[in-house]
Amino acid sequence: MYVRKMSAQVGNDELLIHCFQDSLVGAALIWYISLNKVDIKTFKDLWEAFVQRYSYNLNLAPNRRELQAMTQDDNESIKAYAQRWRDLAAQVRPPLEEKELTEIFLDTLDQFY
């Protein structure tokens, strides 16, 4: 999202590097702050360091087991829960068939439903 948002600034490495920290939180921000600034001369250097550090996240797509383990939070409406569940289900790879999605979702619901 950051690259897409800053696409008008391509070529302005100083601004891209400076603003990058605003898109980070938690451990990623701590990682950024601890970078050796001597090693980061261009935005490409920063991008490569970031990808090297966090590329493992690409393989962390949710799976069927995570969908099956989801539960509706206290005070969460069924509509909000269904949307949260569907958002996670859309990330499962390989994608699930609609029938299987429905079965898994129904199995996560309280007996009340």
52/87 same-domain check: no
Coil, helix or strand at residue 45: helix
Q: What is the pTM of this model?
A: 0.53
Distance CA 108, CA 26 (A): 31
Q: How many domains does the chain have?
A: 2
Residue 11 in any domain: the answer is: yes
Distance CA 62, CA 88 (A): 7
Full domain range(s) for residue 14: 2-59
Eight-state DSSP code of residue 37: G
Residue 113 in any domain: the answer is: no
User: Does residue 60 carry a pLDDT above 80?
Assistant: no
Higher pLDDT, 2 or 50: 50
Residue 53 in any domain: the answer is: yes
Burial of 109 (0-12, 13-18, 19+ CB in 10 A): middle
Q: What is the pLDDT of residue 84?
A: 95
Q: Which residues contact 20 (CB under 8 A, 6 or more apart)?
A: 2, 32, 43, 46
11/39 same-domain check: yes
Distance CA 49, CA 32 (A): 10
